[in-house]
Amino acid sequence: MTSLSLKDVSKSYGPVEVLRNIDLEIEEGELIVFVGPSGCGKSTLLRMIAGLEKITGGTLEIDGTVVNDVPPAQRGIAMVFQSYALYPHMTVYDNMAFALRLAHKSKDEIDKAVRSAAETLQLTHLLDRLPKALSGGQRQRVAIGRAIVRDPKVFLFDEPLSNLDAALRVATRIEIAQLKESMPESTMIYVTHDQVEAMTLASRIVVLHGGDVEQFGKPLDLYERPANTFVAQFIGSPAMNLIEAKVTATGAQTSVQMADGGHADVPIASRESDLGTAVKLGVRPEDLTVTESDDYLVSAEVEIVEALGETTVLYFKAENGDPSLIAKLPGINKIEKHTTVRMTAASDKLHLFDGEGKSFLYR
């Protein structure tokens, strides 16, 4: 098993700094997912771990050894890219065996490693086929198999499902999860912009934005206790609603008032200095419910109704001029467009963020 440690790692291209002060401790056997919008630096960080990009500042340790200047081939790392990069004239067997032949492994060693990986990935019946005879998902499994046979210290996945259609993405994602289950001691780092992949695969998630780590934690911790408004809206679909509010009472429980008359008591501590300040109240669409009571959170006119059978999604604009809000109600709902509804949510489902977007829980 292998651990990784990134200490104050940064990356610059000339005067342009693309990653800043990255501190991460990755434990043995974890599947860590780097997630974030395009251009946030997640693939660059992965390539720095692989040795394909030079580290500008800080140190990278693998099993306690600093590897900043160690060549990629000597780091004990195998990488699976977006493109399958299979040799079209070679069979599946030969594609998987290629790196071992370059390493001058014996024929018996190669055969044992290839067939073992093929069995794990359910590729045994495809070993004699050329890549052109495979589906996209099968090609990606061959690319993963090519990494497995090398018995690396760390597996790196750079958006491996991005070239697959929706159905294949789901199927291959399940296969990767099953692969990790069958290799519990393997340390894996996985890059994606797809939060569903992150939430379903990760032991822990690193949320990157603008070259910084916004939060690092278990998937449900990020969902239930986001550190700031960026994480709150990036993790979860549809995104968390953020409602402009003002603090009206402080203490172990914070009371806030919305401009349209809605109010809430949030079981999150606040300071006396917060009294009267502008904040953002966060509530996830799936946590909103319709109410006819005067004790409501927000009042809004429905603009769009999406009846999906298992859920009904309402898109609406709050009366106080906030950006469009979303409610995700279970089952079939008879609410019609252009009707005004009041909504509420359980107090333990509410989040509170200060003027800088930081959660009150992490101040």
pLDDT at position 23 is 97
Q: Residue 207 in contact with residue 214, Cβ under 8 Å?
A: yes
Mapping DSSP to helix (H, G, I), strand (E, B) and coil, where does residue 117 land?
helix
CA distance 357 to 313: 26
Q: Residue 156 in contact with residue 50, Cβ under 8 Å?
A: yes
Q: Which residue has the tokens 């009707």?
A: 339
Helices 136-148, 92-102: axis angle to 10 degrees equals 20
Cβ neighbour number for residue 140 with a 10 Å cutoff:
27
pLDDT at position 265 is 95
pLDDT at position 254 is 97
CA distance 105 to 280: 60
Mapping DSSP to helix (H, G, I), strand (E, B) and coil, where does residue 156 land?
strand
Q: List, in order, residues 6 or more apart from 347 with CB less than 8 Å away.
A: 264, 265, 266, 267
Query: Where is 229: in which H helix or E strand?
Result: helix 229-234
pLDDT at position 321 is 59
Q: Residue 97 in contact with residue 131, Cβ under 8 Å?
A: no
| Residues of the chain predicted below pLDDT 70 | 1, 318-323
pLDDT digit string, tens, across residues 82-114: 777 889 999 999 999 998 998 899 999 999 999
* Residues 89, 90, 96, 101, CA torsion sign: negative
Nearest Cα to Cα of residue 36 among 24, 46, 21: 46
Domains of the chain: 4-234 (3.40.50.300), 241-362 (2.40.50.140)
DSSP state letters, 4-33: EEEEEEEEEETTEEEEEEEEEEE-TT-EEE
Q: Which residue has the tokens 């434990």?
A: 27
